[in-house]
Amino acid sequence: MTTEAVSLPTRPVARKASRLRGGNAGPVLVVVLAIVAIWYAAAILMNWRGTIDAFSRAGEQRSATEILFATMEQERPILPAPHQVLTELKKTTLDMPVTSRRSLPFHAWVTLSSTLLGFGLGTLLGSVLAVLIVHVKTLERSLMPWIISSQTIPILAIAPIIIVVLGSIGITGLFPKAIISAYLCFFPITISMVKGLTSPDPMQRDLMRTYSASLAQSFWKLRLPASMPYLFTGLKVAIAISLVGAIVGELPTGAQAGLGARLLAGSYYGQTIQIWAALFGAAILASVLVAAIGLLERLLNKTMGARSP
């Protein structure tokens, strides 16, 4: 195994990859456990002072061990201990009706719906732009540099404007947030899709020409299937920042519902446990969304008969 050329057959590579993944479970577990341990230690250290103050305000004298345990049971700790966050997550998901305003799934659903709407809009816009750019040379030379250089601009700063401007002409609620998501996520989709649509090499395109395939035929039969792996890489990035867009979109209006509103309310009222719970909710949502895209990719690969990468 001196060169990469040897590893052409797919089966041994796949087996090797799965063995590697199995081998990673142990180290990942150890690192996660280490993070949890550091977290507990940090929680004790950071809350120590506040706990002592609370006790002295109540006029009680406590021993060091009692203080130690009390640091992990504070109502508004500087850093909540992991089990406090888990309890809050359980309390706000399982112990409350989904329709309640204090239920986390309720807020997650508000954010998720605008994320998905924005993601849909962004995917549509991004792929249409990509198809246009690949087929119209003028657009490639005039629009593409702007799309690339717009990546260097902190686009998220525009979010408040979109919310307020759309709000002032009477559009509120889901749609403005979805616009921000769509605006954020169409860039990676366009870039990766253009890359994918131009990925077939000249030999393959020449073959299509010798079949006298029309432009549409070579698009549907060659370019589009070839672009799928690139598209899905872009989609995974896009859905993640689409969620970020939806969360940030909930900030400027001081929104009434959604994970971003939960973060903002938590920071106003010093409810640290609520902030951490919302943060974990957002993290779980993000990983579920990315995993869903991965699943979709695998399904599509199977139906299109592609080799698993």
Partner 1 sequence: MTGFHRGGILAPFVLLGWIYALILAHSPNVAGQAGPVFWAFVSALWLAAAVALNGLSNLRLKTPGARRFLGLCIPILFGAFLFFLWEVIVVGAGVPSVLMPAPSAIGSRFAASLPVLLEDFLQTFVKSVLSGYMIGCLSGFLVAIVADRIPFLRRGLLPLGNFVAALPVIGIAPIMVMWFGFDWPSKAAVVVVMTFFPMLVNTVAGLAAAGRLERDLMRSYAAGYWTTLFKLRLPVALPFIFNALKINSTLALIGAIVAEFFGTPIVGMGFRISIEVARMSLDMVWAEIALAAIAGSLFYGLVALVERGATFWHPSYRT
Closest CB 308 distance from partner 1, rounded Å = 19
| Residue 62 exposed, middle or buried by CB count within 10 Å (0-12, 13-18, 19+) | middle
Determine which residue in the list 7, 214, 217, 267 makes contact with partner 1, applying CB under 8 A. 267
> How many other C-beta atoms are found inside a 10 Å radius of the C-beta of residue 31?
10
Smallest distance, partner 1 to C-beta of residue 23, A: 7
Per CB under 8 A, does 44 bind partner 1? no
- Please write down the long-range contacts of 132-140, taking CB distance under 8 Å and 24 or more positions apart: 133/190, 133/194, 134/194, 134/197, 134/198, 134/223, 135/215
Contact 67, 52 (CB under 8 A): yes
Any contact of residue 28 with partner 1 (CB under 8 A)?
yes
Q: Which string of x and - marks every residue 75-114 that binds partner 1 (by CB under 8 A)?
A: ---x------------------------------------
Whole-angstrom CA distances from 96 to 90, 91, 93, 224, 275 are 9, 7, 6, 46, 18
* The one among 279, 298, 301, 306 contacting partner 1 by CB under 8 A: 279
Selected from 67, 290, 300, 306, the binder of partner 1 by CB under 8 A is 290
Q: Report the alpha-carbon distance of residue 160 to residue 176 in Å, rounded.
A: 10
Among the listed residues 117, 193, 264, 273, the single contact to partner 1 using CB under 8 A: 264
Residue 6 phi/psi, 5° resolution? -70, -30
> Residue 121 in contact with residue 182, Cβ under 8 Å?
yes
* CB closer to partner 1, 222 vs 297: 297
Residue 37 interacts with partner 1 (CB under 8 A): yes or no? no
- Supply the minimum distance, in Å, between the C-beta of residue 221 and partner 1: 27
Of 236, 261, 277, 297, the one binding partner 1 (CB under 8 A) is 236
Going residue by residue from 176 to 215, which x/- string records binding to partner 1, judged by CB under 8 A?
Answer: ----------------------------------------
CA dist 51 and 58 (Å) reads 11
Min dist CB 60 to partner 1, Å, is 26
Residues 5-24 contacting partner 1, CB under 8 A? 23-24
168 binds partner 1 per the rule CB under 8 A: yes
32 binds partner 1 (CB under 8 A): yes
| Interacting residues with partner 1 (CB under 8 A) | 2-3, 23-24, 26-32, 78, 137-138, 140-146, 149, 151-158, 160-161, 164-165, 168-169, 236, 240, 243-244, 247-248, 251-252, 259-260, 263-264, 266-267, 270, 272, 275-276, 278-279, 282-283, 286-287, 290
